[in-house]
Structure 1
Amino acid sequence: MELDFPFIWAALIAFAVLAYVVLDGFDLGIGVLFPLLPGKHDRDVAMNSVAPVWDGNETWLVLGGGGLFAVFPLAYATILPALYAPIIAMLIGLIFRGVSFEFRWRTTRGRFLWDWGFASGSFLATFAQGIALGALVQGIEVVDRQYAGGWWDWLTPFSLLTGLGLVCGYALLGATWLVMKSEGDLQHRARRFAWASGIATLAFVAAVSLATPFLNPKFLERWFAWPTMIFSLVVPALVAVCAWGLFRGLSEQRTAQPFLASLGLFVLCYAGIGISFYPYMVPPSVTIWQAAAPDSSLRFLLVGAAVLIPVILAYTGYAYWVFRGKVDPSKGYH
């Protein structure tokens, strides 16, 4: 049986992007919530909860972007020109956020500046990611294998909706992460944040889900034509289960359940996007197979990925295992 290398690589890149969203999402969410944490102690604990893993989480972003360049060059060449502005904004936010993360521990007088730098960088990176997602979902105009749209095509009401939705979603991940990793007043405050951001996230999920099928006739057919319309029943039902698990866990003051339920919501939303996209790499016109590099290149790169991805998974899992449990306020990054 001959392997379908473009499909395998599409699955690997989709997995890398999902891994980035669920892993880096909660530490970006902590940055979004940072201005709402009142004192130095709470902010220190929040930062120390992600200090061992935050930079490693971004490995998956590099893998996804680098894989897109190497494996789907046509998709890279059309998506990047269409999304230059939000992608550059995202990178600026990530850089400024990383610098602020390091520098706030090295100063006392100027710590408030780096606190705001960390918060604003996290918000900018998150909002830009959401806008880029919305612009990609609504479609990129491609003519003769080149981007044929304008400079501002990425800025639409739908992309702004997805941008704000992702900010709320990452805030939910950050809040539930703090519920799991902290104690006392900070945990109670994080639980309140989780209630508010959870309700907002579900509202945005509903709005985006209702709007998405009407952006493209192919999306509408995928969600409302038989037999694929079964997804329209299964995915919302699973989202309802995760929402129930989230709010029940918060009500019963459980620690891990809200975070796991929030991750479930993100996985289901991501699956919904994948269902809408397939088989397109650049909707609505460039398929996975049209965008792929030659099979010889894909086969060669797959050998490296077969070694690299398990190594990344192993050291990521080991890092989370070593730093499991509650954060000790007397110890940390500083």
Structure 2
Amino acid sequence: MAGMDLTIVWAAIIGFAIMAYVVMDGFDLGIGILFPTFAVGDERDQAMNSIAPVWDGNETWLVMGGGGLFAAFPLAYSIVLPATYPLMIAMLLGLVFRGVAFEFRWREPSHRQLWDIAFSLGSFVAALAQGITLGAILQGIHVENDAYAGGWLDWLSPFSLLTGVSVVVGYALLGATWLIWKTEGSSQRHARKMALRLGVATLLALAAVSAATPFLSYDYWRRWFAMPGVVLTAQVPLLVIICSATFFWALRREFERVPFLMALALFLLGFVGLGISIYPYMVPRAVTIWEAAAPPESQSFMLAGALVIIPLILAYTGWAYWVFRGKAGIHGYH
């Protein structure tokens, strides 16, 4: 019983780390995706300055999510990683190019156009790879004898491409709403226009993925539509409608923070929907969280460290966001 409880705790920790990464690095990647739409000069400089103090710290959660999965659920790690190697390589290369471009853009202005392209392309590739990975996991991974038994390109399908594009659009929405909050002048006006379009596109993408997912497996269909569970699961689309209405209302009233918070709420509801679909599996329809878990002794040992590290990460992240809570001007925060 204690081992089962620890497994659920660690599943919650991994889920929290992944959601924290999506929330915090999502708007960073979204700004990179939107970057070509901003005018060269002040608009691009404001966009970069808005994430300059926090972008590298946001990726802490990616390390924690991946490292935690390896340590707490080694079987799932050993199956998911080989199944998505090309996607993981693409994502990491995208993040590397993005990080290098971010630094060199300021230090080598003679090639700023090249670094802008690298920043935007790296952000797009990383976001697309993350979305396709999500789709690949949802559609199922071929497992035999507790090992990946599929091919190099099993992850590629119309559904995984749909989730990939959906994540790109959703991240772009997070980026646009973040810029509404953190910029001013023409940058903010442009971000408002993009947020309106991306809000509609994100809802269409969310609807398309939600409609397609139950057809992947009867398990998904049963979790969402079978009685009496449908009474609870129906609250998720209801909350999506409420958050969406609030989002467009806030945009119309020209609020600065509410659109970003509502965009985050939509991502959170999408994450809840994902949890409803796949629980109790770590690898859908192949390996449950208990089958994938490390021994209870290992989980206990790691939990002691996690209880120290996670509050520290939250504390310094919160402090960074508080210190840089103002508007991101052309030359920095004010």
SS at match of 1:201: helix
Q: Distance in 2 between matches of 1:331 and 1:63?
A: 30
1:263 aligns with 2:264: yes
* Stretches of structure 2 lacking an aligned partner (at least 5 in a row): none
Q: Distance in 1 between matches of 2:329 and 2:211?
A: 43
Mapping 1:270-285, distance limit 5 Å? 270-285=271-286
TM-score normalised to the size of structure 2? Answer: 0.98
> In structure 1, what is the equivalent of residue 39 of structure 2?
38
Q: Distance in 2 between matches of 1:271 and 1:182?
A: 31
Mapping 1:75-94, distance limit 5 Å? 75-94=76-95
Q: Which portions of structure 1, spanning 4 or more consecutive aligned residues, are displaced by more than 2 angstroms?
A: 328-332
1:136 aligns with 2:134: no
In the TM superposition, what whole-angstrom CA distance separates every residue of 1:153-200 from its partner, at most 9, and x where no partner exists?
100000000010011000000000000001111101000000111110
Mapping 1:206-225, distance limit 5 Å? 206-225=207-226
**Percent of residue pairs bearing the same amino acid type:** 60
1:177 aligns with 2:178: yes
Q: Distance in 2 between matches of 1:289 and 1:257?
A: 39
In the TM superposition, what whole-angstrom CA distance separates every residue of 1:109-135 from its partner, at most 9, and x where no partner exists?
210000000000000000000000100
Q: Distance in 2 between matches of 1:173 and 1:65?
A: 23
In the TM superposition, what whole-angstrom CA distance separates every residue of 1:92-150 from its partner, at most 9, and x where no partner exists?
00000000000000122210000000000000000000000100111111111011111
How far apart are residue 237 of structure 1 and its match? 0.5
Q: Distance in 2 between matches of 1:123 and 1:108?
A: 22
Q: Distance in 1 between matches of 2:39 and 2:158?
A: 33
Mapping 1:58-73, distance limit 5 Å? 58-73=59-74
SS at match of 1:314: helix
> In structure 2, what is the equivalent of residue 126 of structure 1?
127
SS at match of 2:282: strand
SS at match of 2:234: helix
1:314 aligns with 2:319: no
The residue type equivalent to 2:191 in the other structure is A
The residue type equivalent to 2:253 in the other structure is E
Q: Distance in 2 between matches of 1:268 and 1:211?
A: 17
In the TM superposition, what whole-angstrom CA distance separates every residue of 1:52-79 from its partner, at most 9, and x where no partner exists?
0000000000000000001101000000
> In structure 2, what is the equivalent of residue 29 of structure 1?
30
Q: Distance in 2 between matches of 1:42 and 1:264?
A: 27
> In structure 2, what is the equivalent of residue 54 of structure 1?
55
How far apart are residue 245 of structure 1 and its match? 1.2
Residues paired across the two proteins, number: 332
1:292 aligns with 2:293: yes
Q: Distance in 2 between matches of 1:195 and 1:173?
A: 12
The residue type equivalent to 1:134 in the other structure is G
SS at match of 1:110: helix
Q: Distance in 1 between matches of 2:21 and 2:332?
A: 27
Q: Distance in 1 between matches of 2:129 and 2:102?
A: 20
> In structure 2, what is the equivalent of residue 253 of structure 1?
254
> In structure 1, what is the equivalent of residue 243 of structure 2?
242
CA RMSD of aligned residues (A): 1.0
SS at match of 2:110: coil
SS at match of 1:254: coil
